[in-house]
A and B are shown apart, each in its own frame.
Chain A
Amino acid sequence: MRRKMTGISILLITTALATVALADHGHREHHGHRRTKAAPTTAIPAEELARYREECGSCHLAYPPGLLPARSWTRLMGGLDDHFGQNAELDDATRLELTQWLEARAAETGSHPRSAKALRSAGADTPLRISELPYILRKHHELRDEVFTRPEVLSRANCAACHRTAEEWVFDEDSARIPPR
């Protein structure tokens, strides 16, 4: 009887330890998985990112430069006095500096995981809105227009309304949450 009890106890303890070990293993694997998918923003020096956000991120998300071809950034930065209907003028020095910075990180350089798809989608055009790239439209085709006019969304330019990790330039479907009507 006593021997039987001891056997059951050992079995229970072993099972418990194995469960904890497996759970811990799974936990670590999950973390490791996260780490391999580092946010694209981490590839940009913090100072440069802060400067980009300061100049371009006051009115809208500081979009990933890698989602438009270089020619798009060139044209966009050449018309800041009428930036989609808004005056977004910069002094010449800042404008030139930022233009070069954007061109050096444009879709052609593959600076964003989705750069290649964005570039192919642009084709021979010079798109000025990331939200109008056929690739981006296709990704959002399930959403009715009404979603983009909801008070918390306001505009197709407002990626961060649904994409919680938009600031880090991560636009995974599972991290997106659509605000209620």
Chain B
Amino acid sequence: MLLLMSPWLAGFSIFFGYPLVMTGYLSFTHYDLLSPAKWIGWANYSYLLHGDPQVWPAVVNSLEWIGIVVPLQVLFAFGVALMLARARLGLGFFRTVFYLPALAPPVAATLGFVYLLNPATGPINTVLDHLGIQGPLWFQSPGWAKPSLALLSLWGVGNTMIIFLAAILDVPRHLYESAELDGAGPLRRLRWVTLPTVSPVVLFAAVFGVIQGLQYFTQAYVAANIAAGQASQAGDTINNLGYPQDATLFYPVLLYQHGFVNFNMGYASALAMLLLAVAFAVVLVILLNSRRWVHYAGAVR
């Protein structure tokens, strides 16, 4: 048995176990990547909790993201899937169109959005301008930067949408029919037939979304640097992280800044350990909570 599992065990310990143990160890050291790590006890954690002025804004940004944008993503994906499931004409066309954005590489998609939403030269604001509306500053304003990123992430929600679509199409027809015979309208059918049947997928989308949300990095990094644009110097990209005014300083961005720009990998490891703990806790809460609303077909309660 052990022999059969050995490829998996080896992979698990090399690519997961070892990095995890090393991160744990390094979080108690001063490690600048270049000289040997030095044991400093809890100093990194104490700086994390009491000293680093960027931690709190980063935590708030990330919490806002998983609290608002992730639920929106799930809702949006579900809504689009519902509509696609009911479409009569051009079925293949619409499915493709709504899925396509998911294929765009995140960096390219972000670049595209930053250009589209450029407050001075972007087509969106140009159109708004013609309508006599002063468009927002989008990625250049602390208030609009996160909504802009949210737009981007809703646009690229295709993967989740496809999974929802498959689940919705999989709902047994006879359930709908008997519900209809019982006099249930479309809304009640949605609430009492569709939702319970696809609830495992909702759970999957929620957990997956939260984990992705906690690791949200690439789009924020690229958007900040491109939008700040004007000072994109080799040595100074660091000062663009979180642009504008820490609005896009998500927790992983902060982690990157400390580990890879400031040569402070020991401290970055401490940040990573906290992220792991929080991700674990949040997912645990969702899973425990899900027992009340997730319905597994054929499962005995």
Asked if A and B are interacting partners, one says no
Give chain A's interface residues, CB within 8 Å of chain B.
none
Binding site for A on B (CB under 8 A): none
